[in-house]
Amino acid sequence: MPSVSVMGKKLRLVGSGEIRTMLGGVSRQRVYQITNRRDFPEPVATLQMGNVWLAEDVEAWIAARRGDLD
């Protein structure tokens, strides 16, 4: 996972590819569905390659809802 330093703090960022892996290799379409849910964390930036999220926000979201995603 790439990291960026902002004001001395390292932020780990993830894109949809990393989220796929975090969710156990789900399809790209499923990642799109999940990341567009109203309760999914907001992306911190939109780049040419797509949205990026804070890894800790995504990890917390997955931990809280993992059973609901299967």
**pLDDT averaged over 10-residue windows placed end to end, the chain, 70 residues:** 67 96 96 97 96 97 81
Please state, in angstroms and rounded to a whole number, the distance separating the CA atoms of residues 40 and 57.
9
Centre a 10 Å sphere on the Cβ of residue 58 and count the other Cβ atoms it contains: 22
Question: What 3-state DSSP class applies to 31?
Answer: helix
Distance CA 9, CA 39 (A): 26
Rounded distance, CA 23 to CA 5, Å? Answer: 26
Reported pTM: 0.82
Contact present, 31 and 20 (Cβ < 8 Å): yes
